[in-house]
Structures are given as C-alpha cells and as structure tokens.
Structure 1
Amino acid sequence: MSVSLTKYLDAVNMIAINTKLNKLLKTASYNIQNQCNILMTM
C-alpha cells in the first residue's frame, strides 16, 4: 500500500511540476512574441 501511495504521489507531483513549467513556457513565449511585435512596430 505505501509503495503504491508514494508512486501515486510522485506521479501527482510530476504532473503539477509539468503544468507549472508549461504555464511558465507559455507566458515566456507570449512575452517574447509581444517584445518582437513591439520592436517590429517601432
């Protein structure tokens, strides 16, 4: 029981970390695109 529980918690942690990283990457790429658009219009 304890082994499967730790495996389950590890999986949940991995999913949480992945979603956080995805959000960070999306916001970072979005910011970079905005910077490029601003530079292009100047």
Structure 2
Amino acid sequence: MWSGVVAGKVHVCAGWGAADEDVLRGECRESRVWIEKRGRGE
C-alpha cells in the first residue's frame, strides 16, 4: 500500500528531478531506492 508521503515524494522526484535543492534530490533518491526494493519484494 502506497502512503501519501511516499507518493508525494515520487511526484516531487518526477517533477523536479533536475532541481538543485538537496532536499528534493534526497527525497527523490530515497523514494527511488525504496520503490526499487519494494519492486524486488524486499
């Protein structure tokens, strides 16, 4: 089940992938890693 927070971070990542702000980059990176782990069933 996706949480609103994670979904929000995914949207931020998609919309601001080239942003220079460390916070956005950090959330994007963390969300991608989490999604990749979930996709592998970890």
TM-score relative to the length of structure 1: 0.49
TM-score for the superposition, normalised by structure 2: 0.49
Higher relative contact order (CA 8 A, sep 6+): 2
Higher-Rg member (1/2): 1
